[in-house]
Amino acid sequence: MTATPHPESDCVDFVLSVLNTLDTCETSAKTVDEAFGLLADQRRRLFLEVMRTYGESITLPDAAEEVAVRETGRNVSNISAECVHEVYISLYHDHLPRLVDVGLLEYDQERDLVFPVALE
């Protein structure tokens, strides 16, 4: 059986790169699984990307708006308030707690501010 080239060779290259990196660091399998679990969700990756881009505290509503922009590829003026609200709710109830629990972000609920702790 002859292997045919896979159309997503970028994915293969990325996986091989990650595996090579894992070979050179001393990280437990549990830690690797937890890290990949955190990065498995696109919205969570976009949220982390937003926080890295800003590099300082921003309000969760502003973060939700920016995540919605990146998810849709549209200007914020072309995104419905319902869409941004849905992103906010998912960040607040799902993604933010996970990232706070592992120490990547901090959250001041009283001021609705998110701080990039380990992203700097």
* 8 A C-beta contact, residue 91 and residue 75: no
Per-residue pLDDT reduced to its tens digit, 36-68: 999 999 999 999 999 999 999 999 999 999 999
What is the Cα–Cα distance from 99 to 75, expressed in whole angstroms? 26
With 70 as the cut, is the pLDDT of residue 10 above it? Answer: yes
Q: Which residues of 39-68 are buried (b: 16+ CB within 10 A; e: fewer)?
A: eeeebbebbbebbeeeeebbebebbbbbbb
* 8 A C-beta contact, residue 101 and residue 109: no
Location of structure tokens 């609705």:
112
Domain spans of the chain, in order of start: 29-116
The full length of the chain comes to 120
Per-residue pLDDT reduced to its tens digit, 62-112: 999 999 999 999 999 999 999 999 999 999 999 999 999 999 999 999 999
Fold classification of 29-116 is: Arc Repressor Mutant, subunit A (1.10.10)
In this prediction the pTM is 0.84
What is the Cα–Cα distance from 33 to 116, expressed in whole angstroms? 22
Q: Can you give the pLDDT at residue 17?
A: 87
